Structure 1
Amino acid sequence: MSANQTDKNQEHTEAPLHGKSRRFRYIRWGWMGLLLLLCLKPVSAQQEGNQITQFMYNTYSYNPGFAGMSNGICVSALHRQQWLGISKGLDESVNITAPNSTVIMAHMPIRAIKGGIGVEIASFNASLFRQTYVKLGYAYHLQTSFGIIGMGVRAQMQTLGMDGNFNPRDEGDPIITDIQESETGVYGDVSIGFYLQGNGGYFVGLAANNLIAHKGKKIAYQPSRTFALHGGYTFSFPSLPKIEFTPSTYLETDFATFNWSIAMTGTFNKRFWAGLSYRLQDAVSILGGVHIGKLQIGLSYDITASRFIRASKIGGAFEVLVRYCFGLEGDNVNTEYKNARYL
């Protein structure tokens, strides 16, 4: 990989890689070997919470250490609709709401505080449950000889509501029948995260979310304290110089259950990207998108791998991502986009 190609793969260009590096070649093969090992030895898991297929473009949502890493102001919106077609065949009196989520976020670097800030507003709805999040975070950026490290902290306010007018199909559920009227609970929490953008095109992050995990009083709900490990590597082959490949992985666990995804995407001529993703025991996904100047549009569709969902004849899940980045005054932001991964 040439120095020019390597520099283009990076969100930050302050410390470009000159020439080939044996260390980074080892890192490349190490990541590829790790992904292969995980593919060969899957472990059963139970997914919970808000799942995002395009996790590689949603980094700030689960790691506050990523705030400001895009070297410009980035604003994005993502919407996910699960269980397409679930309402078919149901009685009109049954108000079933398929799980759906919307995430709106923005983050930017601020030189005066030697880091970046980020804000996120997200909602998740499923039948009688409604969750809304507001997150505000800061990350300190440390320039090193091997890349840039982001060390972040984020405060979160969450509301959880239950619809007392919900009309279930199964009226014998004792939990639902105990709900006489709509209720809402408010919870606060804190997350921390570390993110490394390496000079050689690799990236890795570790985050701890919901550290307080406070149990609500009005609604008996307690979020799980979770830990997220994610990373990947961007590279190209000399025989295919116009295509950049990015294998990536995301693992989240509360040490009782875990959610694990892997993906491989390829970006052609800095404009079009496509790929495949697999979420353990849940779905195989098709991803694709395009860059139009400073605008990025991404789509994905989940083909369910769950036996229960297939037996229920429920459709997959659809996601749409819209992202816009623009540079700060005096900055040279990578908005045309070197690597479709960044959010």
Structure 2
Amino acid sequence: MVYAQQDAQFTQYMYNGLYYNPAFSGNHTGYRFSALHRSQWLGYTTSSGNGGAPTTQLVTASGRIPGTSFGWGVSFTNDDIGPATSQEANISLAYHRKIRRGVLSLGVSGGMFSNTIKYDEIDVVNPDPSIPSSGNESQMSANFGAGILYEAPKYYLALSSRHINEPTFDFGENSFDNQLVNHSYLMLGYKIRTFAQVTFDPSILLKSEGFNNFSYDVSVIATYDDRMSGGIAYRGEESLSVLLGYKLLRDKSLRIGYAFDLVMGGNEAKAPTSHEFMLTYNLPTITKKIESIIQRTPRFRF
């Protein structure tokens, strides 16, 4: 039995709430677009020399439906690790309601999850005639998720569940069986403002896979003048990270981010570094303003 990768992991998780939780769909005004590439354990190769270092791409877009309390979101993920590749495409919808000083958001998502096995990259210890030695095989299944988010001026709290239906992928008459188990996420963040145009944003991401395996990410990001940011993060028993970011353009709508991971655990089976690049663009809502213009004529004054 071979277990393909489950959910992808991101060091810049605090900027990718939509991937974990559909309640982030349109939680702010305007439209948000992002693209991320992650090269994990850069340079890692298996004993067979076939590579195998995980690489991940994530593309998202979200916005608010004009004149309503609903937000929309779309996301696409490509995750390649060893002989297995997966693609995930989701559409999400969220309802936002103001409660006291914060906003409560409820979101649901649905889409497709595809798994592919590349047989020519599998190093089999005991060859089985029923298992192909070359070629690829792909399977696709429906995929659903849900989440809740409460966001206040100084903090946010989000709880979500992905792969609620736990789709199963069965390759070649039970030769390879991989169930995409339910993943749950708890994300917390807090904003600390200072008098020197610097804000500190500590956050934590708690992850549960099938309610059996638990892990966590914790980080602190410092931002100067809402433009330049830097921070550190730690992934439990895995890596220590440095995060950098800078907002471009006059309205600070374009942001570029980078994360460097130094692997500290399990080095015997991993390469020592991972790298993550992210680009985000926020398009504000365009509003038309009609101004009253005073016109004067010899007879009338408007």
The TM-score with structure 2 as length reference comes to 0.85
Q: 1:299 maps to what in 2?
A: 258
CA distance in 1, matches of 2:122, 2:104: 50
Structure 2, unaligned stretches of length 5 or more? 289-302
1:230 aligns with 2:187: yes
SS for the counterpart of 1:186 is: strand
- What's 1:210 paired with? 163
Distance change (3 Å), C-alpha of 1:236 and 1:175: farther
Of Structure 1 and Structure 2, the greater strand share is in 2
What letter corresponds to residue 94 of structure 2 in structure 1?
A
> How has the CA–CA distance of structure 1 residues 114 and 305 changed in structure 2, closer, same or farther, with 3 Å as cutoff?
same
Amino acid at match of 1:279: R
Q: C-alpha displacement at 1:237, in angstroms? A: 2.6
1:170-210 CA distance string (max 9 Å, x none)? x41658993434111101121011111113x1111011111
1:284-310 C-alpha deviation (Å, 9 max, x unpaired): 10000100121100000111121x22x
Q: Is the contact between residue 94 and residue 167 of structure 1 (CA under 8 Å) also seen in structure 2? A: no
Contact 2:41/2:270, CA 8 A, preserved across alignment: no
Residue 216 of structure 1 aligns to a residue whose secondary structure is strand
Which residue does 2:213 correspond to in 1? 257
Deviations 1:235-277 (A, max 9, x none): 1233xx3100000000111321012110000001111000000
Letter paired with 1:266:
A
Q: What's 2:117 paired with? A: 162
Asked if the contact 1:105/1:121 (under 8 Å) is kept, the reply is: yes
Instruction: Using CA pairs under 8 Å that are at least 6 residues apart, name the structure with larger relative contact order, 1 or 2.
Output: 1
Q: Structure 1 279/313 Cα, relative in aligned 2: closer, same or farther at 3 Å? A: closer
Answer whether contact 1:277 1:284 (CA < 8 A) is retained. yes
Which of 2, 7, 25 is residue 67 of structure 1 equivalent to?
25
Contact 1:54-1:300 at 8 Å conserved across structures: yes
Contact 2:160 2:186 in 1 (8 A): yes
Structure 1 segments of 4+ aligned residues over 3 angstroms from their partners: 173-177
Indicate how the Cα distance of structure 1 residues 178 and 64 shifts in structure 2: closer, same or farther if over 3 A, else same.
same
Q: CA deviation at 1:214?
A: 2.3
> Compared with structure 1, are the counterparts of its residues 176 and 233 closer, same or farther at alpha carbon in structure 2 (3 Å cutoff)?
farther
The residue number in structure 2 matching 1:284 is 240
- Larger fraction in helix: 1
CA distance in 2, matches of 1:48, 1:160: 10
Identity within the alignment, %:
25
Match of 1:11 in 2: none
Q: How big is the alpha-carbon RMSD for the aligned residues of Structure 1 and Structure 2?
A: 2.2
What is the match of residue 102 of structure 2? 147
Give per-residue Cα distances to partners, 1:114-163, cap 9 Å, x unaligned.
21000001100011100000010000010111211110000020100011
Partner of 2:287, secondary structure, is: coil
- Cα deviations by residue, 1:16-44 (Å, 9 ceiling, x for unpaired): xxxxxxxxxxxxxxxxxxxxxxxxxxxxx
Q: Conserved in 2, the CA contact under 8 Å of 1:123 and 1:130?
A: yes
How far has the Cα of 1:85 moved from its partner? 2.1
Bigger Rg, which one? 2
**Separation (CA, whole Å) in 1 of partners of 2:129 and 2:201:** 45
Q: 1:231 to 1:313 in 2, by over 3 A?
A: closer
Write the distance in 1 (CA, Å) between the matches of 2:94 and 2:114.
25
Matched with 1:245 is: 200
Question: In the TM superposition, what are the counterparts of 1:260-279 in structure 2 within 5 Å?
Answer: 260-279=216-235
Deviating more after overlay: 57-66 vs 311-320: 311-320
Residues 1-343 of structure 1: matches in 2 within 5 Å?
49-87=7-45, 94-166=49-121, 168=123, 171-172=124-125, 178-180=131-133, 181-199=135-153, 201-218=154-171, 220-238=177-195, 241-253=196-208, 254-293=210-249, 294-306=253-265, 308-309=266-267, 311-312=268-269, 314-330=271-287
Mapped contact 1:48–1:259 kept (Cα < 8 A) = no
Please give the alpha-carbon distance, in whole angstroms, between the structure 2 residues aligned to 1:282 and 1:205. Answer: 24
SS of 2:272's partner is coil
Unaligned runs of at least 5 residues, structure 1: 1-46, 332-343
Number of matched pairs: 275
For 2:177, what is the secondary structure of its paired residue?
coil
Q: 1:234 to 1:125 in 2, by over 3 A?
A: same
CA distance in 1, matches of 2:132, 2:162: 29
1:220 counterpart SS class: strand
Question: How many angstroms does 1:51 deviate by?
Answer: 1.0
AA matched with 1:304? V
Amino acid at match of 1:326: L
